[in-house]
Amino acid sequence: MKFSTYAIHIGNEPNLQPGGSGDVVIPIHLSTTFARKKVNRPTQGLEYSRSGNPTRFALEKNLAALENGKFGFAFSSGLAAITNILFLLQKGDHVVSIDDVYGGTRRLFTQVFAKCGVDFTFADFSNSADLSKFLKPATKIVWMESPTNPLLKIIDIASVSKLARTMKILTVVDNTFASPFFQKPLDLGADIVIHSMTKYIGGHSDAIAGCVMVNDDHLAESFKFLQNAVGAILSPFDSFQILKGIKTLSLRMHTHEENAKKVVGFLSRHSRIKKIYYPGLIYHKGHKIAEKQMSGYAGMVSFELQGNLKTAVKFLESLKLISIAESLGVVESLIEHPASMTHSSVPKKDREKIGLSDTLIRLSVGIEDVEDIIGDLDQALQKI
């Protein structure tokens, strides 16, 4: 089976057993508990909805398939998924994380888990050869995002995973920006994949959700335990919403990418655009690795305008179709200003060091007609 087929069918198999109703859409099982005939044997393995729910199980089976993994686990948000991964660690353990990591992840690392005695190093190891400089005897996890947010840096997932494996260090890839349609980190040798399903996987801006996918049986046991012990599970209703979104994931990803390429073409010919970040551009740093490890470049584009902070604000506030909003990877085009929105908690000095200038704009290209997206950008650029 190919991706578009299993996105629709895996986990969604109709129940044609006696008593099954043959629904082609998985029902939303709202029951919080499951009755049993025998005291010491739950019916079909179901006990209590935190430890297992048929709608969530359907989604989790589907999620594993999307990443070519053996196991999938659904959580109540991307950050809840990340929290459960960090619960694999103990006081004194060390994590090396890519410096351009998602802001909420950085906050969770430095303001929550650092207090529990986990030690973090943020570093740029997009050139995997640099990684060993940051490893310590206590290093347990290397944390990657590729492409990163908002500069779309690319990390060589296969080389980093290979090096980490020789030292028994777990590799985690936050694959939110690529989606499982364009990149499969488990196939590249990573141990754990996480997604904010709020973004491409769900795709419709109507559910906050996260997931973890793995191949290793021991890791799967740990996540099964943690999911129940911590309790940050995805609800049956949201599991249904995400399963519904996944059915069109491949269609959406094709269009996101096709539209993004046309938007990049338009921007690169425009005199008011100073710089464009898109992994599909031949001159993008990391393009060669992206070409090797991704089957497409998805729909996230960042760019810098000529001018200053005022120019950026004027441009954004002149847009009519494209909403100024956080989040990304959804059907509607969304645009944001990292310096005042998603990355405002990063001190200006640090922002400049990483390359987050005041005129940097991050655009999540939606699946509207691309002429309307470009038309809106064009009219707003004329106002600056």
Ligand X SMILES: *Cc1c(COP(=O)(O)O)cnc(C)c1O
351 is catalytic: no
SS3 readout for the chain = CCHHHHHHHCCCCCCCCCCCCCCCCCCCCCCCECCCCECCECHHHCCECCCCCHHHHHHHHHHHHHCCCCEEEEECCHHHHHHHHHCCCCCCCEEEEECCCCHHHHHHHHHHHCCCCCEEEEECCCCHHHHHHHCCCCEEEEEEECCCCCCCCCCCHHHHHHHHHHCCCEEEEECCCCHHHHCCCCCCCCCEEEEECCCCCCCCCCCCCEEEEECCHHHHHHHHHHHHHHCCECCHHHHHHHHHHHCCHHHHHHHHHHHHHHHHHHHHCCCCEEEEECCCCCCCCCHHHHHHHCCCCCCEEEEEECCCHHHHHHHHHCCCCCEECCCCCCCCCEEECCCCCCCCCCCHHHHHHHCCCCCEEEEECCCCCHHHHHHHHHHHHHCC
Is the CB of 184 or the CB of 199 nearer to ligand X? 199
Candidate list 161, 196, 241, 333; residue touching ligand X; CB under 6 A: 196
102 forms part of the interface with ligand X (CB under 6 A): yes
Q: Segment near ligand X (CB under 6 A), from 53-61, 119-127, 185-193, 195-203? A: 195-203
Q: How many residues bind ligand X (CB under 6 A)?
A: 16
Is the CB of 152 or the CB of 169 nearer to ligand X? 152
Q: How far is the CB of 120 from ligand X (least distance, A)?
A: 16
Do 209 and 176 form a contact (C-beta atoms < 8 A)? no
Candidate list 12, 49, 55, 77; residue touching ligand X; CB under 6 A: 77
Q: How far is the CB of 78 from ligand X (least distance, A)?
A: 2
302 forms part of the interface with ligand X (CB under 6 A): no
Is the CB of 199 or the CB of 252 nearer to ligand X? 199
358 is catalytic: no
Q: Binding to ligand X (CB under 6 A): which residues in 118-157?
A: 145, 149
Is the CB of 135 or the CB of 172 nearer to ligand X? 172
Q: How far is the CB of 77 from ligand X (least distance, A)?
A: 3
Distance of alpha carbon 27 from the chain centroid: 26
Catalytic residue among 56, 100, 102, 200: 102
174 forms part of the interface with ligand X (CB under 6 A): yes
Candidate list 50, 61, 99, 104; residue touching ligand X; CB under 6 A: 104
239 forms part of the interface with ligand X (CB under 6 A): no
Q: How far is the CB of 232 from ligand X (least distance, A)?
A: 10
238 forms part of the interface with ligand X (CB under 6 A): no
Catalytic residue among 199, 244, 252, 261: 199
105 forms part of the interface with ligand X (CB under 6 A): yes
Catalytic residue among 174, 191, 238, 358: 174
Is the CB of 34 or the CB of 73 nearer to ligand X? 73
d(CA 175, CA 67): 10
174 is catalytic: yes
272 is catalytic: no
Contact positions vs ligand X (CB under 6 A): 77-79, 102, 104-105, 145, 149, 174, 176-177, 196, 198-199, 208, 210
Residues serving a catalytic function are: 50, 102, 174, 199
